[in-house]
Structure 1
Amino acid sequence: MPVFELAIAFLTLAGLEIVLGIDNIVFIAIITNNLPGDVQSKARKIGLLLAMGTRIALLFAITWVMRLTAPLFSVMELTLSGRDLILLAGGLFLIAKSTFEIHDKIECKPHEQTARKALTFRSAVTQIALLDIIFSLDSVITAVGMVGHIWIMVSAVVAAVVVMMIFADPVSHFVHRHPTIQMLALSFLILIGVFLVAEGLGKHIDRGYIYFAMFFSLLVEILNMRMRKAQAS
């Protein structure tokens, strides 16, 4: 892969990782909000570091599994390997998760209120670690679906977490003010999910089409945001 394409893949994946990490930041904020004020920032940073560690560990594990290309069984005339099963499962997971998330956002279902409980620092970090495993799945599967080089995936994850640690509050405020960005990211996940399913079924799709669609959609949304801002002023 040429250097230019590697750079584009890195920047695209890092940007998408930041958007996909917003939910993780929100849940970390909810948990740490019940801690004393002097340790909230520390717990939040530890939570993001745990998210980075979880993603990197899962990246190496999934990449290893995806190398299993030996045929396992055949269905009709389709021969499936371990890698194909991972791609199919990951693609279906992304499609289902994104569809449900979009449905919830359209329906505007209120989140259930939970009773506030006093937390110790250790119990808060433990809960964050467990949540990181759940919220890392879609991020990792997305990374594997977009880029074939492990070092690009790891670098993008590290870069995204560093950016989130520095700009956690501004990023959260931006996405809160512009919910269409979250909807756009969920639409990207559906697109990537379809790509993974196609790859699992032996139908190759050039990743360049994915990149073009993502950047074009993002450009249109930025123009829409500027237009809405101009009309409001």
Structure 2
Amino acid sequence: MDSLMTLAADPAAWAALITLVVMEVVLGIDNLVFISILSNKLPLEQQAKARRLGIALALIMRLALLSTIAFIVGLTATVFELPWTGPVGKDGHAMFELAFSWRDLILIAGGLFLVWKATTEVHHTMDPTPSPNLLDKDGVMAAGVTMNFGAAIVQILLLDMVFSIDSILTAVGMTDHLPIMVIAVVFAVVVMLVAAEPLAKFINDNPTVVMLALGFLLMIGATLIADGFGVHVPKGYIYAAMAFSGLVEALNMASRRAQQRKAQAAMDNSQSVP
């Protein structure tokens, strides 16, 4: 208790907490976008349940990982190395990292899964084809339903694991105080829980945003793969690109709505003229 009071009175601890909260919230956006896209593929009555369960699993996984920090830090230890016979950089070293840790392997596997899943979702968005096991007894499928609940939860759980490890390693790299990590993680997950419904509704109501979000997931997947191979892309570049793309899409949406209002006004005027 005394250590907690000492920590609460330390300005450096508060600065670390604020910084880590911001980082965890930003990292949680990727996780939340994926959960929102997958949950929107379910029947309407199951969507909210899938989102809540997915976010709850994310919180449980993060807290479980925090309780085994020594194990998590150990994931960065080298597991094996590969010989390099390819091109080298100007410094005479290999262009890619040849020593792989469990963290690297998890990031590469998660990135590949994310790229595969985003590519598959793009295909379904462009050419939706109902799966036979999703049809009801009359051979009819509800609009927008392309996945069952179990498959969605399994995929959410897999990506929760990848994003959780990335999140906790970020926390470990920023502070040595476990209470600060726990507070930051819980706060970020609460933000995810609050934002889940509005974000899912926004994505569902704006089909063009779905494609943009899938593009984000492709970029994030490629970044995870690059990170696993030792090519570290600054997160600021990724989120700056996402913010710029989001701004452009927001302008496009505003333009489309303005055109729709003009068209509606013109139609109303033509109907009012005798």
**What pairs up with 1:154-193 in 2 under 5 angstroms?**
154-164=186-196, 168=197, 171-193=199-221
TM-score calculated relative to the size of structure 2: 0.62
| Structure 1 unmatched ranges of 5 or more | 34-43, 117-126
**What pairs up with 1:33-182 in 2 under 5 angstroms?**
44=48, 48-59=51-62, 60-61=64-65, 64-65=71-72, 67-77=74-84, 78-110=98-130, 112=132, 113-115=134-136, 131-142=152-163, 144-145=165-166, 148-149=170-171, 151=182, 152-164=184-196, 168=197, 171-182=199-210
| Structure 2 unmatched ranges of 5 or more | 1-14, 85-97, 138-147, 172-180, 262-274
User: How well do the aligned residues superpose, as a CA RMSD in angstroms?
Assistant: 3.5
Q: Which has the larger radius of gyration?
A: 2
Q: Report the count of equivalent residues.
A: 209
Match of 2:34 in 1: 20
2:99 alignment partner, SS class: strand
Kindly indicate whether the alpha-carbon contact (under 8 Å) linking 1:51 and 1:133 is maintained by their aligned counterparts in 2: no
Kindly indicate whether the alpha-carbon contact (under 8 Å) linking 2:78 and 2:101 is maintained by their aligned counterparts in 1: yes
1:21 alignment partner, SS class: helix
Distance of 2:74 and 2:187 partners within structure 1: 20
State the Cα distance separating 1:106 from its structure 2 match. Answer: 1.2
Kindly indicate whether the alpha-carbon contact (under 8 Å) linking 1:17 and 1:157 is maintained by their aligned counterparts in 2: no
Distance of 1:142 and 1:200 partners within structure 2: 13
State the Cα distance separating 1:208 from its structure 2 match. Answer: 0.9
- Indicate the percent of aligned positions where both proteins have the same amino acid: 32
Kindly indicate whether the alpha-carbon contact (under 8 Å) linking 1:145 and 1:196 is maintained by their aligned counterparts in 2: no
2:240 alignment partner, SS class: helix
Aligned with 2:229 (options 173, 177, 201)? 201
State the Cα distance separating 1:139 from its structure 2 match. Answer: 4.7
Kindly indicate whether the alpha-carbon contact (under 8 Å) linking 2:31 and 2:159 is maintained by their aligned counterparts in 1: no
What one-letter code is carried by the residue in structure 2 that aligns with 1:57? I
Distance of 1:24 and 1:6 partners within structure 2: 27
State the Cα distance separating 1:105 from its structure 2 match. Answer: 0.7
TM-score calculated relative to the size of structure 1: 0.71
Change (3 A) 1:157 1:17: farther
Change (3 A) 1:221 1:141: farther
